Amino acid sequence: MKIGYVFAGQGAQKEGMGKEFFEAYEVSRVIYDQANLALGYDLKSLCFNGPQEDLNKTEITQPAILTTSIAMLKAFESKIDITPSAVAGLSLGEYSAHVCSGSLAFDEAVQLVKKRGAFMQDAVPLGVGGMSAIVGLSPDQTEEVAKLASAHGIVEVCNYNSPKQIVIGGDLKALEIAGEIAKEKGAKRVLPLPVSAPFHTSMLIRAQENLAMELENVNISDMNVPVISNVDGRIVSSESLIKDTLAKQVTSSVRWIECIESMKSIGIDTIVEFGPGNALSAFIGKIDRSIKVVSIHDLESLNKAIAYFNETFIEKAI
């Protein structure tokens, strides 16, 4: 068995996330307390009690999901002694992956993603841009849709989530036209996403520039575990490339399919997902059904994961 870890991105946030872990695990309590100190406000209360409207604000969403994902990771690590062969995260989740790897300190990461969220939100005025998931078309077909619709404004591929679910983003009017073109080409569904900006498009270039300047002040340590980047779906080959990769990620397509294919290429056959939801498990299942996926998103799923790995390791020892 060769194991990889993946971490949730924005969109998984919900009231009550992580509360069970805070109540049950000291290592999880430490993470929430560190986040509160680093941010200077009560993130813990927002995660546990909401309101959802506040949790959906990008500059709160990002530190909330990162904190909850790492709190879940720490609880798991306190029970199971595993060193993953590689780690990755969807968009925001890449920061959680770097924390797991040791290349980013948690307190710096949580401050950084708060600013990242604010930069991303401020880059495009509300009501100007958006994102839509195209279900049922291939990546090539969706790229053609974006190309045709771009005659009416910016439309670009944001996320390659799975072979049959690709996200596009850009100007709202052009996105609407893209949706019509996608349906004409046979898309099963076109789902406008509840986001406030066209993330991972060229419309966020100002956010990329601001984040790049912010990253200049961040300390990067050695990666104890290889991290796979969203930008190209490959292992980041050097710590010297981390800052540039994280900055570019803001305007680059999230190549999640390639991230999972990279894990498979180095022999990873089991992936553990950390975060408030289990969307990544669904994506991975559509990318490669041969990969075993274990999702940790609440206390019940954590206990099942612990039991699964304990049983697996015992069987291997026998």
| Domain of residue 280, residue span | 3-123+203-317
Which of 173, 195, 217 is the last residue in one of the domains?
195
Distance of CA 137 to the CA centre of its chain: 22
Three-state secondary-structure class, residue 29:
helix
What number of CA atoms fall less than 13 Å from residue 198's CA on the CB side?
Answer: 29
Please check whether residues 98 and 245 belong to one and the same domain. Answer: yes
Q: Which amino acid is at 290?
A: S
CATH classification of the domain holding 190:
3.30.70.250
Predicted confidence (pLDDT) at residue 318 exceeds the cutoff of 60: no
Q: In the chain, which residue ranges form alpha helices assigned H by DSSP?
A: 19-24, 26-39, 43-49, 52-55, 58-77, 93-101, 106-123, 139-149, 172-184, 205-215, 242-249, 256-265, 279-287, 299-317
pLDDT class of 126 with cuts at 50, 70, 90: confident
For 81-92, the DSSP string reads: ----SEEEESTT
Please check whether residues 57 and 145 belong to one and the same domain. Answer: no
DSSP secondary-structure letter at 165? E
CATH classification of the domain holding 82:
3.40.366.10
| pLDDT for 194 | 78
Predicted confidence (pLDDT) at residue 249 exceeds the cutoff of 60: yes
pLDDT class of 314 with cuts at 50, 70, 90: low
Please check whether residues 237 and 298 belong to one and the same domain. Answer: yes
| pLDDT for 85 | 97
Please check whether residues 252 and 308 belong to one and the same domain. Answer: yes
Please check whether residues 210 and 101 belong to one and the same domain. Answer: yes
Instruction: Tell me the average pLDDT across 28-48.
Output: 97
Which of 195, 218, 233 is the last residue in one of the domains?
195
Please check whether residues 23 and 172 belong to one and the same domain. Answer: no
Residues 91, 132, 162, 252: which is the catalytic one?
91
Please check whether residues 37 and 63 belong to one and the same domain. Answer: yes
Please check whether residues 92 and 155 belong to one and the same domain. Answer: no
Total count of domains within the chain:
2
Residues 162, 196, 200, 297: which is the catalytic one?
200
| pLDDT for 125 | 84
pLDDT class of 127 with cuts at 50, 70, 90: confident
Rounded Cα gap, residues 301 and 224, in angstroms: 26
User: Which tens digits make up the pLDDT trace of 165-218?
Assistant: 999 999 999 999 999 999 999 999 999 987 778 999 999 999 999 999 999 999
What pTM does this model have?
A: 0.94
Please check whether residues 44 and 180 belong to one and the same domain. Answer: no
Please check whether residues 64 and 134 belong to one and the same domain. Answer: no
Rounded Cα gap, residues 115 and 312, in angstroms: 41
Which of 168, 195, 222 is the last residue in one of the domains?
195
User: Which tens digits make up the pLDDT trace of 48-89?
Assistant: 999 998 998 889 999 999 999 999 999 999 999 999 999 999
Please check whether residues 224 and 284 belong to one and the same domain. Answer: yes
Predicted confidence (pLDDT) at residue 317 exceeds the cutoff of 50: no
Angle at 51 (CA atoms; ends 195, 35), nearest 5 degrees: 85
Is 91 an active-site residue?
A: yes
Please check whether residues 85 and 191 belong to one and the same domain. Answer: no
